[in-house]
């Protein structure tokens, strides 16, 4: 009976040892009896990655980090293992990044073409590339760093907004409204001038139409004369036809001269309009650049301040003149 109890106790202890060993193997994710493909990547910093961190290829968990060790030159060499059926992509690199917001990390293996276009990541990979069997690696910033950068950016934006509010005060708004009002007046003058030139062009166009009508009338008369010439040669009316043709030719020459005169007037009007538009554009450009008296008036606020100071001094002079007129005006009777 005692031997049976000892056998049961021994068997229980052996089962407990086996269960504990199996639990340890499971917790360490050990792979017993499987031949793994191992490779090494090097990094400047591994962040919060630890041995046992999963290795992911194209979004699928394909292995894990076996060990980490410090190397010469300030590098960290990370040994990783992959499942036997998994193959590395062409021109592989390794990125360490957070897998979730809870602080879990993963090692992502991808081709060099799939690396994000980030200057810091590209710099890390270029520094870590040394050829051979060691893969270049880079560490992406974690959530804490991104939050700190976002906070700094928000502070910079608030500072810029505060400076803009200080610079753009009521006085600047008043001066800006005055400049806009002056530009609106100038635009009205230009629009009125363009309308006047448009009316001139309409008048010239009317003259051209009248000249064309005269030319068409003369051509019609010439056609009638030719027709009458053809029908009157047999009746002895050639002299009359020739006379009518001469009259028509004179009218045609007169109409041609009128049309030429009108065309010259149109050309001159177009040249004057073009010259006026070019001059107006030059004036507006000089005003915007602050050139000339009008440009200085529109873009420089010192005239307003000097005028205001002059008015204040003139009011002070009038008040002093009313109080002490004898100081400025002396009347003597001889």
Cβ proximity of 136 and 42 under 8 Å: yes
Looking at the predicted structure, is the pLDDT value of residue 127 above 80?
A: yes
Domain ranges of the chain: 27-142, 170-287
- 3-state secondary structure (DSSP) of residue 106: strand
Instruction: Give the pLDDT score at 77.
Output: 92
Q: What is the DSSP letter of 116?
A: -
Distance CA(247)–CA(252), nearest Å, equals 9
Flag whether pLDDT at 54 surpasses 80: yes
What percentage of residues in the chain have a pLDDT greater than 70?
A: 68
- Is residue 247 scored above 90 in pLDDT? no
Q: What is the pLDDT of residues 20-52, one digit of tens each?
A: 766 665 555 555 555 778 899 999 989 888 999
Give Cα separations from 247 to 47, 223, 228, 244, 276 (angstroms).
106, 13, 14, 5, 43
**What class, spelled out in words, does domain 170-287 have in CATH?**
mainly alpha
pLDDT grade for 160, boundaries at 50, 70 and 90: low
306: pLDDT strictly greater than 80: no
How much is the pLDDT for 208? 74
pLDDT value of position 193: 76
pLDDT for 139 beyond 70: yes
Q: What is the mean pLDDT of the chain?
A: 76
Mean pLDDT of 293-298: 60
Residue scoring higher pLDDT (238 or 271):
271
Q: pTM for the full model?
A: 0.38
pLDDT 10s digits, 203-222: 777 777 887 788 888 888 87
Q: How confident is the model at residue 329 (pLDDT cuts 50, 70, 90)?
A: low
pLDDT higher for 220 or 287?
A: 220
End-to-end CA distance of the chain: 161
- Mean pLDDT, rounded, for 107-118: 89
């Amino acid at each position: 009976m005692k031997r049976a109890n000892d056998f049961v106790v021994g068997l229980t202890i052996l089962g407990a040892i086996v269960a504990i060993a199996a639990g340890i193997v499971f917790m360490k994710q050990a792979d017993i009896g499987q031949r793994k493909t191992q490779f090494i990547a090097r990094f400047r910093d591994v962040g919060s990655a630890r041995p046992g961190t999963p290795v992911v290829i194209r979004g699928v968990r394909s292995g894990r980090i076996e060990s980490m060790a410090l190397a010469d030159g300030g590098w960290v060499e990370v040994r990783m293992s992959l499942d036997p059926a998994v193959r590395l992509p062409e021109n592989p690199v390794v990125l360490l990044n957070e897998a979730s917001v809870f602080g879990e990390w993963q090692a992502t293996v991808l081709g060099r073409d799939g690396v994000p276009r980030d200057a810091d990541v590209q710099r890390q990979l270029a520094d870590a590339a040394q050829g051979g069997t060691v893969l270049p690696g880079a560490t992406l910033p974690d959530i804490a760093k991104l939050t700190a950068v976002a906070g700094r950016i928000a502070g910079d934006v608030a500072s810029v907004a505060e400076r803009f509010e200080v610079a753009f005060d009521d006085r600047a708004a008043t001066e800006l409204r005055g400049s806009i009002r002056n530009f609106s007046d100038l635009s009205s003058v230009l629009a009125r001038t363009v309308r006047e030139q448009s009316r001139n062009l309409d008048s010239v166009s009317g003259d051209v139409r009248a000249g064309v009508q005269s030319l068409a009338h003369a051509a019609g008369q010439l056609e009638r004369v030719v027709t009458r010439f053809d029908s009157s040669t047999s009746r002895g009316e050639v002299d009359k036809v020739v006379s009518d043709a001469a009259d028509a030719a004179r009218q045609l020459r007169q109409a041609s001269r009128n049309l030429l005169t009108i065309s010259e007037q149109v050309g001159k009007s177009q040249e004057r309009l073009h010259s006026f538009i070019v001059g107006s554009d030059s004036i507006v450009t000089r005003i915007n650049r602050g050139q000339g008296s009008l440009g200085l008036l529109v873009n420089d606020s010192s005239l307003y301040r000097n005028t205001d100071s002059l008015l204040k001094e003139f009011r002070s002079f009038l008040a002093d003149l009313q109080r002490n007129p004898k100081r400025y005006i002396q009347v003597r009777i001889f």
